[in-house]
Amino acid sequence: MTDQSPKLKVLVSGSGIAGPCFAFWLHKLLPSSDITILERAPEPRLGGQAVDIRSAAVPIVERMGLLEKIKEKTTTEVGIEFLYADGKTKATFPATGNAEQQSSKSTITYIYQNTNQQQ
């Protein structure tokens, strides 16, 4: 956009994972844009669905400057075990040992918000 162009105004619906991520990259591309994120929840949610950060997502969060902070907040999943009522193991599914990260949605949102406020 040139200095002659009107300022781009963008309204993003939702402050889950996609909304702030979109706003982050749009701001990087068009820093003069006016971006507003709307969320129906009255305050940040402290719980939420776990989010896998792996494959194509790893270099993206790294370029956002969030990878190390996300690694600090991993869920350190160890696997799952199903037991009979008497406590004996029925089945075990160990963790894969994959170094890719998993964090809760609210943790990633918190990291993103606090990192961007400090820049």
**Residue 102, both tokens:** 């998993």
> Residue 66 pairs with which residues in a beta bridge?
none
53: closest CA among 69, 42, 41? 69
pLDDT digits (tens, 9 = 90+) for 18-45: 899 999 999 999 999 999 999 998 887 7
| pLDDT tens string 89-111 | 888 887 665 555 455 555 556 66
CB atoms within 10 A of CB 1: 11
How many C-beta atoms surround the C-beta of residue 78 within 10 A? 8
Q: Are strands 50-53 and 34-38 parallel, antiparallel or unpaired?
A: unpaired
Q: Quickly tell me which residue has 């507003």 as its tokens.
A: 36
pLDDT in tens, 41-83: 888 777 666 677 778 888 999 999 998 988 887 766 777 888 9
